[in-house]
């Protein structure tokens, strides 16, 4: 299929939700204002595979189970061994047990240890989060109140991102996971 499903990266992100709504809750990073948390999963090259939306004051760990369950639609193409890359917010025994129960290997950045993002496999999900935030104002501040509409808009944004990447790869021949060359 052209997806790198052997390496999965999951990361959470909080967005402002000034109008409230079904999935809005107090944000722990924005003085208790309303917010939404996205738990996004990408393949090894940064292609979005699924997203779970919930209230902003939930920890990342409880969102870990429903996020990889989005892989069920790829059941025929799933590799035997999947490695999940996570940031320090997931560093707990509960997370390790869950991933072991799901049959996944895991690479979790330890708490308190600073590792530059470009030295890990997590940079692809951070780049994908950047695509969502810079390409669509919706992910900077969500004014929609209904969860069904939010999920539909996320699906549309994902389709646009994947089509853009396919066009770029077809025209330039540049791979999905290729980092741009640094300018002198």
Which pLDDT score is estimated for 70? Answer: 78
DSSP-derived letter for residue 90 is G
Tens digit of each residue's pLDDT (9 = 90 or more) over 29-60:
677 788 888 888 898 888 888 888 888 787 77
Shortest CA distance to 130 belongs to which of 87, 170, 161, 152?
Answer: 161
Identify the CATH homologous superfamily for domain 7-172: Ribonuclease H-like superfamily/Ribonuclease H (3.30.420.10)
Residue 91 predicted with pLDDT over 80 = yes
DSSP-derived letter for residue 111 is T
Tens digit of each residue's pLDDT (9 = 90 or more) over 57-72:
877 777 888 877 777 7
Residue 8 predicted with pLDDT over 70 = yes
Tens digit of each residue's pLDDT (9 = 90 or more) over 151-166:
888 889 889 988 888 7
Q: Please give the residue that has the higher pLDDT: either 76 or 45.
A: 45
Q: Please give the residue that has the higher pLDDT: either 18 or 156.
A: 156
What is the Cα–Cα distance from 96 to 98, expressed in whole angstroms?
Answer: 5
Q: Please give the residue that has the higher pLDDT: either 41 or 28.
A: 41
* Domain definitions of the chain by residue range: 7-172
Which pLDDT score is estimated for 37? Answer: 84
Which pLDDT score is estimated for 175? Answer: 61
What is the Cα–Cα distance from 98 to 95, expressed in whole angstroms?
Answer: 5
Q: pTM here?
A: 0.78
Distances, alpha carbon 95 to alpha carbons 27, 56, 106, in Å: 23, 19, 9
Which pLDDT score is estimated for 182? Answer: 53
Which token pair is 177? 């996971």
DSSP per-residue letters across 51-87: EEEEETTS-TGGGTTTTGGGGGGGTTT--S-EEEEE-
DSSP-derived letter for residue 182 is P
Tens digit of each residue's pLDDT (9 = 90 or more) over 122-175:
888 888 888 887 777 655 667 777 888 888 888 898 899 888 887 877 787 766
């Amino acid at each position: 299929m052209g997806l790198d499903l052997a390496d999965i990266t999951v990361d959470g992100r909080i967005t402002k939700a000034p109008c409230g709504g079904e999935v809005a809750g107090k944000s722990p990073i924005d003085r208790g204002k309303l917010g939404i948390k996205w738990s996004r999963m990408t393949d090894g090259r940064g292609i979005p595979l699924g997203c779970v939306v919930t209230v902003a004051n939930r920890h990342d760990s409880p969102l870990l189970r429903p996020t990889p369950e989005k892989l069920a639609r790829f059941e025929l193409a799933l590799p035997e061994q999947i490695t999940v890359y996570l940031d320090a917010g997931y560093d707990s025994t509960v997370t390790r047990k869950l991933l072991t129960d799901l049959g996944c290997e895991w690479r979790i950045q330890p708490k308190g240890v600073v590792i530059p993002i470009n030295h890990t496999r997590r940079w692809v999900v951070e780049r994908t989060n950047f695509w969502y935030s810079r390409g669509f104002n919706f992910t900077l501040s969500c004014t929609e109140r209904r969860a069904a509409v939010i999920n539909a808009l996320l699906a549309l944004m994902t389709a646009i991102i994947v089509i853009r990447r396919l066009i770029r790869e077809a025209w330039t021949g540049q791979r999905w996971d290729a980092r741009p060359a640094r300018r002198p």
